[in-house]
Chain A
């Protein structure tokens, strides 16, 4: 089954404690991205990756890092989380191989920073 898998689904952490949210896709998609979802703001892109070892900032990259060492994985790293990073996070992947750009989303990670 084609899917994007995020872990964990829920996470409560304390300010300043480094954390990583993993994301993996099994569709061989070249493009992966991270979004955060906040009430009234929709989804905003944090970082994206066009392919292995190619990453770039999205609209709200401050306080986040990513890496793309393998095509299937795209972890999101919060080196020093702060309460304003409390949010619902989604990983997505897509491909242009078939001519369109439909994005497939993970189930989301609800992060609370206290």
Chain B
């Protein structure tokens, strides 16, 4: 069965600083990987996804993520955060032969001025 671990429950970062959110997955074959963002009171919005090909994936809002098979990781990065990036971020893993997504527990990002 697939599973996802997000080691950081909460991260505080200064506006303009870089951000990296960690995600480790467990899955036997090549996974489908996603990052979603949830702003306060909102639903989940897809930031980016990885299915195959280039392991560095670009997403919306200036985010990118890198798939590292050897480390079973799919870390999310942003070079310079904005106050509007304060939100909860979820990493999810899916399978090529299954619709189901398994989510991590989430990482809450606080941006300080």
A contact residues vs B (CB 8 Å cutoff): 31, 33, 35, 40-45, 48, 50, 58, 90, 92, 94, 96, 99-103, 105-108
Residues of chain A lying within 8 A (CB to CB) of residue B36: 105
- Contact: A48 with B44, CB < 8 Å? no
Contacts of A48 in B (CB 8 A): 99-100
5 residue pairs A–B, Cβ–Cβ below 8 Å: A31-B99, A42-B6, A99-B51, A105-B43, A108-B43
- The complex places the Cα of A48 from the Cα of B105 at a distance, in Å, of 20
**In the bound complex, how far is the Cα of B44 from the Cα of A103, in angstroms?**
9
Task: State whether A107 touches B42 (Cβ < 8 A).
Answer: yes
Using CB atoms and an 8 Å cutoff, list the residues of chain B in contact with chain A: 4, 6, 9, 32, 34, 36, 42-46, 49, 51, 90, 92, 94, 99-101, 103-106
Q: Determine if B34 and A90 form an interchain contact, defined as CB atoms under 8 angstroms apart.
A: no
Given the interface pairs A100-B32, A101-B94, A108-B43, the reply to whether A42 lies near B99 with Cβ below 8 Å is no
By a CB distance below 8 angstroms, the chain B residues around A33 are 99-100
CB of B12 to closest CB in A, whole Å:
18
Decide if B99 touches A105 in the complex (CB within 8 Å).
no
